[in-house]
Amino acid sequence: MNHNAPRTPLSARPLPEVRGRVLTTAQLRSLGVSPAETNEHCRPGGPWQQILPGVFLLHPGRATSEERLHAVLRYAAREPDAAAPARPATAVPEQPAAGQPLRPARPGASVPVQPGIGQPHRPVYPDAVISGLAALALHGFAAAPTLPALEKIDVLVPRLRRLRSAGCARIVRTSALPTARLVTGVPVAPVPRALADAVARLTDAGRVRRLLTEAVRDGHCEPAAVVRELDRAKLLDRPHVLDAVDSLLAEGRAVAEDRLYRMVREYGLPEPMWNVELRLPGGPHLGGLDAYWPREAVAVDLDTRAPRHDEGAPWSEYARKREHLERLGITVVHVTPRKLRDAMRQQAAIVRTALMAAADREPAAHVVVEPR
């Protein structure tokens, strides 16, 4: 062998195609690329660039939004255990062009496997989940900035990870990683958690209100789930967040009432009296109801209360109202926005059963019905 023969330039080597052309130092080393060669190709004017510590973009020029996302995930993800047996690559983790199938991996290439549908697999990015405004943009929020407009991308990692924010990657530590949803191959936090992480850094009351309102209006999640995450993040003591939550709950109630109207009409229930107050003749008010059938003495009560750790008092008041009405012979059907969204047919059947059973019950006490 002639040791003076020129070495094959790295750019001419048949490196496998990878998703977004983003690789870590460890991944390059597993492909036979030494740190010295990597540094050589990241010099000014070279074909590669270092986008984050230990993460490299295998082309010059500006990174795309997808490449930035995968660079942040590669930076934050826990490196797989080196002692674990390597799995053969069956498909390259490349984002294909529109209408183009994935290309098979070069035999023997040590590239992370993209799992097929229904196949058990280890996560491509262990212990790393995109959250905050970037996650909301991926979920399709119109009120969130576009991915190219974001200077920082929030990524959730376990609390004990030794990792610092760098470049476009903002590390957000958490005691428990949420169950991620894959959006275009990217692990993304559920909408309530993404909202909480976004709101934690926002001081613009209008933007916070628009984000929370869109989450409910467009059906991304229920108000209770959002308030629960905001409460867990200790954000409900901020005045602008509390104001936004009021708008969120109002939007949530409007959406739930619309579903209740649809349930009555689509499932052929008798038309009730809508949004009424009940009181005893000459006596105190018994409380408000969303729908009431006076002949059958059946009521529907929408529960849109905001969940809080200190919700004992509101729940006690709600329970007292229900118990008082039922002592008077009025059947109260308790309905939540989530039940109306996910099981409308079942809720309609429950109301219909209560209406049909009215003939077999003792007559209810006489009450006065007033508009709410």
Name the phi and psi angles at 366, rounded to 5.
-70, 130
Pairing of the two strands 186-188 and 181-183: antiparallel
Stretches in the chain below the pLDDT threshold 50? 1, 3, 5-8, 12, 19, 81-121, 309, 312
Q: Do residues 168 and 133 touch, judged by C-beta distance below 8 A?
A: no
What does the pLDDT look like over 75-85, one tens digit per residue? 999 876 433 33
With b for 16 or more beta-carbon neighbours within 10 A and e for fewer, the 166-183 pattern comes to bbbbbbbebeebbebbee
Classify burial at 322, counting beta carbons within 10 Å of its beta carbon; exposed 0-12, middle 13-18, buried 19 or more: middle
pLDDT at position 84:
39
Largest CA distance in the chain: 109
* Sheet strand arrangement including 55-57: 22-24, 55-57, 49-52
Q: Among 365, 361, 364, which residue's Cα sits nearest to residue 283?
A: 365
Strand, helix or coil for residue 100: coil
Classify burial at 342, counting beta carbons within 10 Å of its beta carbon; exposed 0-12, middle 13-18, buried 19 or more: exposed
Torsion, Cα of 307, 309, 314, 315 (10° steps): 80
The residues near 63 (Cβ < 8 Å, ≥ 6 apart) are 51, 57, 71
pLDDT at position 102:
36
d(CA 210, CA 244): 8
CA pseudo-torsion sign 302, 305, 309, 310: negative
Q: Do residues 278 and 286 touch, judged by C-beta distance below 8 A?
A: yes
pLDDT at position 72:
96
CA distance to 29, 39, 51, 233, per residue, from 42 (Å)? 15, 5, 10, 41
d(CA 36, CA 358): 83
